[in-house]
Amino acid sequence: MENFALLMQGFQASLALHNILAALAGVTLGTLAGVLPGIGISGTIALLLPISFGMEPLTALIMFSGIYYGAMYGGSITSILVNVPGEGASVVTMIEGYQMARRGRAGAALAIAAIGSFVAGTLGVVGITFIAPPLAQVAIAFGPPEYFAIAALGLLVLTNLSGGSALRAVLMMLIGLMLGTVGMDYMTGLVRFGFGVDGLGDGLDFIVIVMGVFGLGEVLARICERQNDVRVTKIKFKDLYPNREETRRSILPIFRGGLIGAIMGLIPGPSGTISTFASYALEKKLSTRREEWGKGAIEGVAGPEAANNAASSFTMIPLLSLGLPFSASAALLLSGFMIHGIQPGPMLVSTEPVLFWGLIASMYIGNLICLILNLPLVGLFASVLRAPMRYLMPVVALVTFTGAYVLNYSLFDLGVLTFFGFLGFFLQMSGYSLAPLALGAFLGPQLEQGLIQTMVLTDGNIWTLMTRPLAGTALWLGVAMIGWMIFRFIRQLLRRSSSQPVAEDV
Amino acid sequence: MKFSNLLKAGLMATLTAGVLAMPVSAQEYPSKPITIIVGKSPGGSTDLLARAMAQGGEPHMGTSIVVVNRPGASGNLAFNETADAPKDGYTVGAASNSLTLAPLLGETKYNYATDLEAIALVGSSPYVLAVHNDAEWSTLADFVDHATANPGAIKYGHTGVGTGAHIATEQLASIAAIDIQAVPFDGGAPMIVALLGQHIGAIMTNPLDIQEHVRAGTIRVLATASEAPVSDPLYGGVPTFTEAGYDLVSLVWQGYAAPKGIPEDVLQTLRDGFEKIANDPATVAVIEQMGFEPHYMGGEEFAQFWIDEQAALQVTLEQTGILQSIQEQKR
């Protein structure tokens, strides 16, 4: 309860008018940064750093943190509306969200994404308020073998996310893994598959790949459609928001997604993205309406959006209590702290109690502002879809190219984007699902690095992986799953050969 | 986003103006904004320091200074761009360790240590060898003894092959004749997490990254790779490697460079201006906040520093076998 009293003091500090304004400015800019692909949290914070010099530290930190978690609200908007993921964490939102938009339910998808983000974000802050220090210790318990195990299990469980042919999904996943090997080798520092091209030395940027295969690929696909001007009928205000049925179906996914995101947020690496994949897979497994998946199931928006917000809130725990940023955007937030002479770490709570609790309190306020800000905007954003495709698509292409450029200020990336745009288009036309490709490209480097580190740590004894409690459990689970799949496959073969071909089991 | 787009557009416009405008005669230098090219993404210490220099630089330079980020190829893209920039003094590059190191490791377009003009060094920070507080060794001597008795048993983390920290640790291993194994990490944060969880035994790092853990007593620093003991009382009683009997000095540094061949008087104006910026109390405060010690060095001295550091690195890379292993694999 001592924390509660301190939190109340924090509220006193953060409810000062200039601090509320800072929170408002932060989350507004954050939401906008999330909306435009590429221009992310990093660019926005970097641009505001000089402006913040004159502010008092708490005010500046409230603003920077607002940008950080506000961006998670905005990230889903382009995914849902035009199939362009602004960041890794909104790739999954696209799968169902974009389909909902094409069915005319964009408003519902956007609103559920905002509500899910609010619920999970607030739960995340509650978590930080009461159990941050012990949770930080959990983060430390994860070592390289555990990262490897999580990546391996992730590939196994999540590859056939969108259903369809397992063989095709595995093929796409393997191509993704291969893409992840381009660039510098961790162990030797040598460039692999660089072909002497400077731009390949740093590897392929995951975000550029997904912006290409999904965003640009979608633009190309639309161009090839004959009657591409789908007349969206004017939607009544009431129908803009989720109906009772949609809301009811979203409640449990939001809480489950929030829980998954919270757990994953404690693990170093871009956990937000994995948690969205995991939440999607879980919701699909639990769903009683299998036939809707891939055609706009609202659970597939609610769960992942809640997951990435909870993950980004929980990433604040290692940042605040260990001083360690577990993602690129958290690293930028850390710079924002440091420029004001605040070094987060184990001592922050005791040396700067007002600042620490003021910041936490501002996150409750900021999440609320985000919700209030986002819900009315739903109508505005949804009306974007009323624009004829021949005007909308060039704008989407322009936004995609700008976003990809601003990411690394690299012209080479525009070439990469174009290449993957065409690749994504052809693969999609040929009936290949692109999510496994994104997953492979994302988890590949993590898998490889975890394995290399483990091999050095154990002097090449790979068996150690299977005997550590956390990593072992995950990996044995994976082995059991493969065993079960083989068993099922053989059983099916046997049945098919013994019984009549009519016996069609599921 | 509109707001930051606007700012970006503004930056781009000033940059383009800076590059396209006709050369101006020397006596009116500077008559337009100066651009600092940073080879890192926005937000890192190199970027923030450059932005602070730009922010505080206007009164000293008599013109505004803008920062542009050109990350890629470990910062080499930005060095190349600086070297290739018009020789009019309107383009300056942020310089750091890879300026002397990169040309030794791979085929860079230039040898930056000799093909760029030094303006000023503004801050530096020594690498430190850090271990978990519960580790069984509490001094550098214990650490070396343990490593001698158990070859290959101690694993240390680094953030990339051929980075300054990796080279410094290998140099220590070579001087002390010990066998410690390198574990590569994808950045400082995961590496420090691994140290805190005692998945690895030691790290060579910038002191700022572990400062709060040293204060909290979870991480202990065994030695600093500086010439003189670090002034911060947090490291009171921590010896330098040299004091402990190992000749190892390795600094992370931040400075600025210009293309070779800019007019002598323009170079002098830049050097004078940057001296004033670097010693401005506002800049000094940011340098300290970024974990560096204010460490001003004028242009000529700084140029010699590059040459000396590169020569020393060449020797170290050969002694530790890092150079051979890279060259062998390239074949």
Annotated domain spans of chain A: 2-457, 468-506
The H-or-E segment that residue A421 falls in is helix A411-429
Contact A44 B4 (CB under 8 A): yes
Burial track A365-377 (b if 16+ CB lie within 10 A, e otherwise): bbbebbbebbeeb
Q: If you average pLDDT over residues A484-490, what whole number do you get?
A: 87
CA distance A11 to A5: 10
Interface subset of A 13-32, CB within 8 angstroms of B: 29, 32
Nearest to B212 among A142, A346, A445 (CB): A346
Q: How many contacts (CB atoms, under 8 Å) link A and B? A: 164
Mean pLDDT, rounded, of chain A: 85
Nearest CA in chain B to A197: B73
The H-or-E segment that residue A451 falls in is helix A435-457
Of A41-45, A402-406, B127-131, B162-166, which one has max mean pLDDT?
A: B127-131
Better-predicted residue by pLDDT, A199 or B129: B129
Nearest to A188 among B8, B77, B161 (CB): B161
Q: Right CATH number for B128-249 from 3.30.200.20, 3.40.50.11540, 3.40.50.970, 3.40.190.10?
A: 3.40.190.10
**Half-sphere exposure in the Cβ direction for B100 (13 Å, CA):** 27
Give which of B205, B219, B208 is closest to B169, Cα–Cα.
B205
Domain B2-124+253-317 has what CATH class? alpha beta
> What pLDDT is recorded for position A90?
84
Nearest to A49 among B51, B72, B183 (CB): B51
* Chain A residues with CB-CB distance to B7 below 8 A: 47
- Say if B14 is an interface residue toward chain A (CB within 8 Å): no
3-state SS of B228-269? CCCCCHHHCCCCECCCCCCCCCCEEEEEEEEECCCCHHHHHH
- Say if B70 is an interface residue toward chain A (CB within 8 Å): yes
> What pLDDT is recorded for position B21?
44
> What pLDDT is recorded for position A506?
40
* Chain A residues with CB-CB distance to B15 below 8 A: none
Contact B155 A456 (CB under 8 A): yes
Give which of B203, B149, B196 is closest to B172, Cα–Cα.
B203
CA distance B289 to B286: 5
pLDDT at A193 exceeding the cut of 60: yes
DSSP letter assigned to residue A195: T
- Say if B281 is an interface residue toward chain A (CB within 8 Å): no
- Say if B172 is an interface residue toward chain A (CB within 8 Å): no
Better-predicted residue by pLDDT, B281 or A141: B281
Nearest CA in chain A to B53: A50
3-class secondary-structure state, position B131: strand
3-class secondary-structure state, position A83: coil
User: What value, to the nearest 5°, has the Cα angle with vertex B42 and ends B40 and B43?
Assistant: 105
Nearest to A189 among B41, B161, B197 (CB): B161
Better-predicted residue by pLDDT, A333 or B13: A333
* Chain B residues with CB-CB distance to A268 below 8 A: 189-190, 193
Nearest CA in chain B to A45: B43
* Beta carbons within 10 angstroms of residue B230's beta carbon: 18
Contact B43 A269 (CB under 8 A): no
Predicted confidence (pLDDT) per residue in A224-266, tens digit: 876 555 555 555 666 778 888 889 999 999 999 999 998 888 8
> What pLDDT is recorded for position A218?
87
Contact B329 A33 (CB under 8 A): no
pLDDT at A150 exceeding the cut of 90: no
Give the domain ranges of chain B.
2-124+253-317, 128-249
CA distance B144 to B136: 12
User: Which range among A78-87, A410-419, B181-190 shows the weakest confidence by mean pLDDT?
Assistant: A78-87
> What pLDDT is recorded for position B24?
46
Beta bridge partners of residue B95, listed in sequence order: B255
Contacts 24+ apart (CB under 8 A), A236-245: A237/A379, A239/A107, A240/A107, A240/A108, A240/A111, A240/A378, A240/A379, A240/A382, A241/A107, A241/A108, A241/A111, A241/A375, A241/A378, A242/A107, A242/A108, A242/A111, A242/A112, A242/A298, A243/A108
User: Which range among A60-74, A170-184, A185-199, A301-315 shows the weakest confidence by mean pLDDT?
Assistant: A185-199
A333's tokens: 């937030």
* Chain B residues with CB-CB distance to A318 below 8 A: 189, 193
Beta bridge partners of residue B217, listed in sequence order: none
C-alpha distances in Å from residue B193, one per residue of A321, A450, B210: 12, 14, 10
> What pLDDT is recorded for position A39?
64
Close Cβ partners of B58 (under 8 Å, ≥ 6 residues apart)? B64, B65
- Say if A199 is an interface residue toward chain B (CB within 8 Å): yes
Would the CATH topology of B2-124+253-317 be identical to that of B128-249? yes
Nearest CA in chain B to A323: B212
Q: Name the pairing type of β-strands B116-126 and B293-298.
A: antiparallel
> What pLDDT is recorded for position A73?
83
CA distance A17 to B185: 43
> What pLDDT is recorded for position B132?
96
Share of chain A above pLDDT 70, in %: 94
Helices A106-141 and A353-383: angle between axes, nearest 10 degrees: 150
Close Cβ partners of A91 (under 8 Å, ≥ 6 residues apart)? A79, A85, A210, A214, A273, A276, A435, A438
B13's tokens: 């416009």
Q: Name the pairing type of β-strands B251-259 and B91-96.
A: antiparallel
Q: If you average pLDDT over residues A313-322, what whole number do you get?
A: 85
A53's tokens: 């010099």
> What pLDDT is recorded for position B37?
95
CA distance B249 to B242: 8
- Residues B254/B292, Cβ–Cβ less than 8 Å: yes
Q: How confident is the model at residue A419 (pLDDT cuts 50, 70, 90)?
A: very high
Q: SS3 breakdown of chain A: % helix, strand, coil, rounded to 5?
A: 75, 0, 25
- Residues A261/A251, Cβ–Cβ less than 8 Å: no
Contact B212 A344 (CB under 8 A): yes
Task: Count Cβ atoms within 10 A of the Cβ of residue A93 and give its class: 0-12 exposed, 13-18 middle, 19 or more buried.
Answer: buried
Provide the residue-wise pLDDT of chain B in tens; the chain has 331 residues.
Answer: 444 454 555 455 444 444 444 444 445 788 899 999 998 877 678 888 898 899 888 889 989 999 988 887 778 889 999 999 999 999 999 999 989 998 998 778 899 999 999 999 999 999 999 999 999 999 999 999 999 999 999 999 998 888 889 999 999 999 999 999 999 998 888 899 899 999 999 999 988 889 889 999 999 999 999 998 888 888 888 999 999 999 999 999 999 999 999 999 999 999 999 999 999 998 998 888 888 889 999 999 999 999 999 999 999 999 888 888 777 766 5
Backbone angles phi, psi at A253, to 5 degrees: -55, -35
* Chain A residues with CB-CB distance to B70 below 8 A: 409
Nearest to A50 among B55, B74, B152 (CB): B55
